[in-house]
Amino acid sequence: MEIQDIKTQLSITVVLVHYYLTTDRSDRLCCPWHNDKTPSLQIYPKTNTWTCFSSSCNAGSGDQIDFIMKMENCTKHEAIMKAKDLIGREIINKKTNSLKTDYNQLFSQFKRNIKSEKVKQYLDSRNLNHKQIEIGYNANTWSYLKHCIIFPLRNPTNEIVSFYGRSIYDKENAKHFYLKNRSGLYPSYPKEETKTLILTEAIVDAASLLQLNLEMEVLAMYGTNGLTEEHTEAVSQLKYLEEIIFFMDGDEPGRKAIEKWTPVIKELQPKVKISYVATPEGEDVNSLSKSHESDIFTHLLGNRIEIQTAQQDLFSSSESSIEKRKVAENGRFVKQQSDFDSSNQRTYTTKARQQNIISKEESRMD
Chain-centre distance for alpha carbon 348: 32
CA distance 168 to 171: 8
Shortest Cβ 85–Zn ion spacing (Å)? 25
| From 28, 34, 260, 290, residue interacting with Zn ion (rule: CB under 5 A) | 34
Cα–Cα distances in Å, from 200 out to 13, 129, 217, 286?
A: 42, 18, 11, 10
| From 43, 52, 65, 257, residue interacting with Zn ion (rule: CB under 5 A) | 52
Pick from 199, 333, 171: nearest CA to 260: 199
Shortest Cβ 35–Zn ion spacing (Å)? 9
DSSP state of 191: P
Residues 315-344 contacting Zn ion, CB under 5 A: none
Position 59 contacts Zn ion (CB under 5 A)? yes
| From 14, 17, 57, 74, residue interacting with Zn ion (rule: CB under 5 A) | 57
| From 15, 21, 29, 31, residue interacting with Zn ion (rule: CB under 5 A) | 31
Cα–Cα distances in Å, from 201 out to 20, 183, 216?
A: 31, 17, 16
Shortest Cβ 38–Zn ion spacing (Å)? 11
Q: Which is nearer to Zn ion, 32 or 263 (CB)?
A: 32
**β-strand pairing of 41-44 with 28-29:** antiparallel
Shortest Cβ 12–Zn ion spacing (Å)? 16
Which span (57-65, 77-85, 189-197, 336-344) binds Zn ion, by CB under 5 A? Answer: 57-65
CA distance 11 to 63: 10
Site size for Zn ion, by CB under 5 A? 7
Q: Which is nearer to Zn ion, 59 or 68 (CB)?
A: 59
Where are the alpha helices (H) located in the chain, listed in sequence order?
A: 3-9, 12-18, 64-72, 76-96, 103-112, 117-125, 203-210, 229-236, 252-268, 285-291, 295-302
Which span (51-59, 278-286, 328-336, 337-345) binds Zn ion, by CB under 5 A? Answer: 51-59
Which span (31-39, 63-71, 188-196, 216-224) binds Zn ion, by CB under 5 A? Answer: 31-39
- Contacts with Zn ion by CB under 5 A lie at 31, 33-34, 52, 54, 57, 59
